[in-house]
Structure 1
Amino acid sequence: MRRYDAACATVATVVMMCLKERLEVVSEESTVDVQFRGLDRCTVTIALVMKSSAPVVSVCKEVQKEIVEEIRILTPFIVEHVHLIVKKLILEKTNA
């Protein structure tokens, strides 16, 4: 059980690192769920909060590719799927 928990935490950390780099994503309000199949295959589901000015589809495609690549580079795990759910769009505060 500890090994599974550690693997999930590792993958979730990599995902959050990717999200924090994206200005269009509010990473503090986004959530990550990781499910493993076998010892090395995982599916990542992310509920994103994005800024309303973001090009949602293109950002999501880029995020999916980046997450797969970063997990491949930084861990021994294989990503089978990255599911992105945009749960909320927020208006950006303006300094007027």
Structure 2
Amino acid sequence: MMCLQEKQEIVSEETMVNVLFTNDRRCTVSVALTMVYGAPIISLCTELQQKIIHEVETMTPFIVEQVHLFVQRLVMFTTEDGKQNA
């Protein structure tokens, strides 16, 4: 999903997306995320849920019933000056 790759707070290489489709053109999206330590988890997840719904419904004929986001791991990263984001 493009909206996940736009966010610096998300490690997109470790993100797993699962979409469950039903017969009536509806779907449920589940996403397991790895996020950068210190990111505003609640507000970011709320924003991502809305963007995922918009993206799926704009690009496909499916209606999104639910979006489940699971933060599976928090990671540290090293900044340009060599410090960690703790």
Q: Do the two structures share a fold, i.e. TM-score over 0.5?
A: yes
Q: Percent identity?
A: 49
Q: Please list every run of at least 4 consecutive aligned residues from structure 1 whose deviation after the TM superposition is greater than 2 angstroms.
A: none
Number of residue pairs matched by the alignment: 81
What corresponds to 1:62 in structure 2? 47
TM-score by length of 1: 0.80
User: Counterpart of 2:3 in 1: which secondary structure?
Assistant: helix
Residue 17 of structure 2 is aligned to residue 32 of structure 1: yes
- Mapping 1:1-96, distance limit 5 Å: 16-94=1-79, 95-96=81-82
Greater helix proportion: 1
- Return the letter of the residue paired with 1:55: P
- Cα RMSD (Å) of the superposition? 1.0
Structure 1 residues without counterparts, runs of 5 or longer: 1-15
User: Counterpart of 1:23 in 2: which secondary structure?
Assistant: coil
